[in-house]
A and B are shown apart, each in its own frame.
Chain A
Amino acid sequence: MATKKFMYLNRKASYGTAYAIESLEVVLIAAAFEQDVSLAFIDDGVYQIVEGQNTDGIGMKNFSKTFHALGDYDINKLYVSAESLEERGLTADDLMPLVYEDEDDDWEEKPSVKVVSNAELTEIMSEQDVCLSF
């Protein structure tokens, strides 16, 4: 099976709607097919990977922990819009330190999250075979 480049665009915050968790489930399912998968976090989607989330008050499962599993699923390209972060008063330091182990570099832990400008993101999106927006 030929490998295709899939990008999942996340535009909404984690809770309040089902978009974020549905996206994550699709990503994990797609990972089983060994495709080239990347994720992008734009607009309120950047809130999905903010560090220190607590869902006790709303009685929902805190699935932000699941993002830490992505590295094991060979998903290690998480692009975050710099403009979206800035508009919300956030910086890269507010995000979860998501990492993966690089098979080709003695399993060294490397960061999965990359903050990019919207212009760079447009460029990356144009290289994809499939973009799915959530």
Chain B
Amino acid sequence: MADILGAEVDEEGFLVDLKDWTREIAIEMAKTDDIDLADENAELYQERWDVLNLLRDYFEEYQIAPAVRVLTKAVGKKLGKDKGSSKYLYTLFPYGPGKQGCKFAGLPKPTGCI
């Protein structure tokens, strides 16, 4: 079984135990996908963390990783209407806001993600 900074991950790189999540693990995961989550001055740094934090809050509240459609709605509501589009979310997470975003946020793969 593979691991990131000592935390076990599955064959797709998602954390096996969600409690293992740390900011450092997210940074490390993102590095593999050429995304910089460590440098505050990096492009889209705050925008990406806003969505990751929202994903973590969503999971805490509902115990599931949201489908992209639901995430889009939640982002529009919490972070501003202009951001509630899948185009915007794909700019932040080109491999899919659900899949890539949830992975970095330490969530399981979204239910219904096929």
Contacts and interface: CB of A to CB of B under 8 A. Distances in A.
Given A72-B70, A72-B73, A73-B70, A28 B111 contact: yes
A31 B67 contact: yes
A32 interface: yes
**Interface footprint category on A:** 10 to 19
Contact of A66 (B62, B69, B112): B62
A75 to B, nearest CB: 11
Interface of A is mostly: helix
Interface in A31-67: 31-32, 61-63, 65-66
Interface size class, chain B:
10 to 19
A31 B112 contact: yes
B56 to A, nearest CB: 14
A29 B109 CA distance: 12
B67 A68 contact: no
8 contacts: A28-B67, A29-B112, A32-B114, A61-B63, A63-B63, A66-B64, A69-B66, A72-B74
Interface of B: 61-64, 66-67, 69-70, 73-74, 111-112, 114
